[in-house]
Each structure stands twice: as C-alpha cells, then as structure tokens.
Structure 1
C-alpha cells in the first residue's frame, strides 16, 4: 500500500456510496505480479438508512479494515487497494498473486464473528476493477480538490455558507476555444477579470462570480465540463476567508 489514499462520494447502482482508494499503488508495484482481483464483502451491522456506515459502527469497521489490510500486507501475496461502502455493505478490494486469497479472508474474519461476509475472485490482469470502478474520474478528482480547499477554509475559521467573490482560472489551446468558453461564462453570470496569451501557447482566462464555498461542487463541475467541451482545462478556484 502507498501513502496516497483519498476518498470521494458517488452513486453505485443509484445508491449513495463512498469509495476510499489507494491512488498511488500502481506507481509502487508491478501490477502484472498481482493478476487476481478479489473482494471481501462485509455486511454492516448498523448501517445508516441510506446504506452508508453509521458513526456508531465507525470504530469497529475501521479496526476490521486495519486487521485485514495489515494481514494481507504481511503475506506479500495480496495488495489491498480500496473499499466501497454502499447499500449496507462494505466491500474491500484486493489484488492477489493467486486464487488462494479466499483462505486468507476466512482466517482474517475469524476475529470478527459478529459480521456476515462473502468473498469472490476473478482474473483481472489489466486491473479493470481498480481503474474503472475504484479510481476517481476527472470530475471526482475535481470534487476531491474542492473538499481540500473547503477543509482549509474551515481550519481558518471560515463561514463556508457565506457568499463571497470566488476567483477561477482556465486554460485553452487557442484563442477561439477560449472565446467559446467566455460566452458560456457570460451566460452564467461570471465577470471576466483578464485574458492572457502565454508564450507557451496557452490562452488563459481569469473570472469571478459571487458564490458559496459550501456549494462549490456544482459550480466547478459546470465549469469543468464547459472548459473540456471547448478543448481547454478548468484549473481551479480561490477566495478570501470570511470569519
């Protein structure tokens, strides 16, 4: 396991879900050495009504995860790469050198007799479950970045529900692409602060609008999609702290 883990919210089969994933595992291991994808599904004892984990069960689930992940790492044969929580289940995902991982799960869960569980595995030498299910999409990465900025504001005592001017920045490969995006900004009520033509061929635009940090996901996902559709890249936001 790497030190680069993060989590994000999404829908899985139209149900609220939360994924916690090792973003750096493929940089630190040869995935060809672990061609078997395996899962351990644990049925939660006290899930929330929406199927996510409850605060009452938090400590038990974290301890269970720690036990199983550390035991897997000690074997050297299994890699713990992430988990999904939804529909009253917590699913742990592993990549293995062999199909004997089912025996490992059975031994690991002996310490947790109060939990029902099931396991399974299949060949997945391309790590498709990791890349197509666990790994964040570009929009998920944008939400993760938003959360990091909002968490920083909260640590500074910010009232994130207070409207204020929020600055944004985007880059484009041509002036024409930028102009298309600027038309979208005008329709959405943004004010263009400045445009610059960089020497490296990037065409930049800085713009702002009054919004609330606690509602920033909807704002930035719209900007992300509009910039992408114009051939460019939305590059983030910033604002002053409101105490």
Structure 2
C-alpha cells in the first residue's frame, strides 16, 4: 500500500468583477446535487451585505445535460458569458455578486440586491435571453447574509471533501475501482499513551477495528494508533468519517493524520 496525504484542492480564480476580488471554487453537495460552488471572497473588507435588501437567484438550464449534472468543458464559454452578463447588470443596478452553483444541469448565480429593482430584472431578462437562454429569476426580501454564510461559504465538511478528493482522484488515476469494498487504514498520533488509549476506546465505539498502537518513528506525536474500516471509496462517506475522526483525535489530545488503501483494479479485489 502507498500512503497518500490529502492536499487542499480549492482553486482561487479571477473574479469577473475585479481582479483583486478572487472567487473560491469547490465541490460540494447542495440541494441533493453534486455541485461546483463559486463564492466571492474579497481579500480586503467585506461585501457590505447589510446595505442590501434581499437575495436574487438567476438560473439557466444547460441545453445539453450531462449524466452527473456538472458542466462539461464545452459549457465553459457559455457559463463565462452568463456570469459576465449577470455581473455587468449587477454592477449597473447596485447589486453584489455573491457566488454561483452549477449542479443538476442548472447554473444559478446568487446576488444581494437593493429592492425594488425592476431595472435589474428587465436588464437580466433582456441580456440573458440575448445569450440564447431563458432565465429563471427569483428574488426575496432579506436572507442574503444568511444564504451567503450557510450555503455559499464552505463548511468544515466541505473542506474535508476537498482534502479527500485529492486522495480519491489519485487512486482513480492508478486505475482504482472505487465501488469495490476493501480495508481502509487510518492513522492518528498522540503525545502520550493515555491519549492514545482514550482514542482507541473511542474508535471501537465507532465501529473501527484497532490494528496497532506503537511508538512513532516520525510524525506529530510519540504514539501512533493504526485502525481500519471495511468499505468502498466514496469521497462523501469518507469525508464524514475523517471529519469525525479529526474531532475525536483532537478531543483526546492528538492529531488524525489521514488514511490509505490498496489500489483495487479488478472486481474480485485483486
């Protein structure tokens, strides 16, 4: 087995608004769909959302759906034109671009806006239709600050998914069949034997099998706890596990250090 350390895979992109205002992109589950989320994260200051009155969603459906609901590479020019068009209208009529969601073969741009704003609505209808799409426009009073914080900004679980995507994608590049169940081994380090013992008892209650606790030759602690579970390689399920394990190790005074598994290239486990 080759141990693979998960790496953060967030991408900072150039905003269609200003080069000094980056956009964070990450993969997440939203509204039951695997989605690309783009969120406006200004480097200086905040978005001044308290000055806005409400939330608007501007949505279009892709004309050539994909099986997983995510945009294809060929969709990139159209989606960029859509984003640029909406951003220009928001700038003209005093709105603030918050972010985007692309999933379920629908792309939605979210904005905080002053209300009423008939000029913005008319401009969006006209200009998005000029791109060859019929937009679905929905606006409501209030809720924009909570939506930005709870829907667009990444949660701890979202961060965990990005870390584990680096591992699952590396396995896939080696020909791994993720749907085949196998042993997955985990590692955690502790500074003392008491912390390691407390963690061992905790993971047993979670259903893990304790493999071994030994003196660590290297790492962030003197005691290394190795343990495993049996299952398929699903980034969403793995991320639920690793988030819980990180929190449990921290509570026991240690540090969860990741997981590894054998690359499986045949359905009989070989």
TM-score over 0.5 for the pair: yes
Q: Distance in 1 between matches of 2:176 and 2:219?
A: 37
Deviation sequence 1:165-187 (CA, Å, 0-9, x none): 54423366986554332113344
Cα gap change, 1:145/1:31 in structure 2, threshold over 3 Å: closer, same or farther? same
Cα gap change, 1:8/1:223 in structure 2, threshold over 3 Å: closer, same or farther? closer
Q: Match for residue 243 of structure 2?
A: 224
Task: Could you tell me which runs of 5 or more consecutive residues in structure 2 were left unpaired when the two chains were aligned.
Answer: 1-14, 16-21, 266-270
Q: Within 5 Å, which residues of 2 pair with 1:55-70?
A: 62-70=76-84
Q: Within 5 Å, which residues of 2 pair with 1:73-88?
A: 73-74=87-88, 77=91, 78-83=96-101, 85=103
Work out which of the residue numbers 29, 42, 46 in structure 2 matches 1:31: 46
Q: Match for residue 209 of structure 2?
A: 189
Contact map agreement 1:42 1:116 (CA 8 A) in 2: yes
Task: Could you tell me which runs of 5 or more consecutive residues in structure 1 were left unpaired when the two chains were aligned.
Answer: none
Q: Distance in 2 between matches of 1:153 and 1:181?
A: 28
Q: Distance in 1 between matches of 2:34 and 2:168?
A: 19
Q: Distance in 2 between matches of 1:199 and 1:152?
A: 23
Cα gap change, 1:193/1:227 in structure 2, threshold over 3 Å: closer, same or farther? same
Identify, as 1 or 2, the structure richer in helix. 1
The two structures have a TM-score, normalised by structure 1, of: 0.68
**Matched length:** 230
Q: Match for residue 19 of structure 1?
A: 35
SS in 1 for 2:127: helix
Contact map agreement 2:128 2:135 (CA 8 A) in 1: no
Deviation sequence 1:26-49 (CA, Å, 0-9, x none): 242533445544311335667689
Q: Within 5 Å, which residues of 2 pair with 1:1-243?
A: 1=15, 2=22, 4-10=24-30, 12=31, 16-22=32-38, 25-35=40-50, 36=52, 37-42=55-60, 53=69, 62-74=76-88, 77=91, 78-83=96-101, 85=103, 90-95=107-112, 98-99=114-115, 100=117, 101-120=120-139, 122-123=141-142, 127-161=145-179, 166-170=184-188, 178-186=196-204, 187-194=207-214, 205-209=224-228, 211=230, 214-215=233-234, 217-229=236-248, 231=251, 234-239=256-261, 241=263
